[in-house]
Amino acid sequence: MAGHSKWANIKHRKAAQDAKRGKIFTRLIKEITVAARLGGGDPEANPRLRQAVDKALSNNMPKDNIDRAIKRGTGELEGVSYEEVTYEGYAPGGVAVLVECMTDNKNRTVGEIRHIFSKAGGNLGEDGSAAYIFHKTGMLIFDGEAVEEDALMEAAMEAGADDIQTEDGQQVVYTTPQDFEDVKAALVESGFEPQVAEVTMKPDNTVRVEGDKAEKVLKLLDALEDHDDVQNVYANYDIPDEVFEQVSV
C-alpha cells in the first residue's frame, strides 16, 4: 500500500473537498448524533463520540452545535433519527467501493446510490461483494516536511502503533482501531500534530486504473461524496501520479 497507492492522499484530498463544499459540518453532526445515541453522550466513555467531537473541533465547529447534536442523540432534544447503512459496489475498471451512509429513508437512499453507480458505469453489489477487500484501521497522517521521520517512527512505535509508512511525501501511522486513541494522544503529547486522524477502512489490495477509466472512477466517487446521505466513501484504486493530478484537478 505504500508509494503510489494514493490511499493516504485520497483521504487528505477528501477531507479538503468536504470542507470546501461545506458538507463537513452536516456529516459530523450526523456522526455525533448517532454515536451519542448508540454509546451515550459522554465522550470520555464513548470512543466513537470522542473521535467525532475531536474531528468537529478540529474543523472549527462551534461547541454549541456539538452539544446540540449530542443532546439529539441522547434524546434530550428532538431530531431526525438516522440509520447507518453501508453499500458495496464496483466502479469502472473493477475498483471496489464502500459507501457509508446515514439516512432517515433507506429506500430512497439505496435507489439514489444505485443510480449514481449506474450513471457512472459502475454497479451496486450485494452485501459482502466488496467489504472483504477492506479492513478497519486507525490512521494518522503527518506532513513529511514538517516532521522528523526517525523521531516520529520512534514515538509511534513506543506508543503502540502497528506501522509507519512514507506515502507521497507524507508520514502515515497505522494503528489497530482499539489503540487509535492512545497512539494519537501519545503522539500529540510528543509534539506531533496529525493533519488527518481517524479510524477508517483500508483496502488490502489495489486496482490500477489509467486514462478514461481513472477519470470515470474519480467522477463516480465525487458524485457519491456529493450525496447528502453519504458519510464516507472508500475505494481501492491505484492511479499513477501524473494521471491522478490531471484528472483530479
The residue type at 231: Q
The residues pairing with 174 across neighbouring beta strands, listed in sequence order, are: 139, 163
Residue 37's pLDDT is what? 95
Instruction: Report the run of H or E that residue 109 belongs to, with start and end.
Output: helix 106-119
Distance CA 243, CA 174 (A): 27
Residue 144's pLDDT is what? 85
Whether residue 83 has pLDDT greater than 80: yes
Lowest mean pLDDT among 20-24, 66-70, 154-158, 174-178: 20-24
Instruction: Please check whether the two domains, 3-74 and 83-132+206-247, share a CATH topology.
Output: no
* Inter-axis angle of helices 24-39 and 63-74, nearest 10: 40
For the chain, domain boundaries: 3-74, 83-132+206-247, 134-203
Whether residue 20 has pLDDT greater than 70: no
Whether residue 48 has pLDDT greater than 90: yes
Q: How confident is the model at residue 2 (pLDDT cuts 50, 70, 90)?
A: very low
Q: Does domain 134-203 have CATH number 3.30.70.980?
A: yes
Architecture of domain 3-74: Orthogonal Bundle (1.10)
Span 19-43, average pLDDT = 88
Distance CA 29, CA 42 (A): 16
Whether residue 6 has pLDDT greater than 80: no
Architecture of domain 83-132+206-247: 2-Layer Sandwich (3.30)
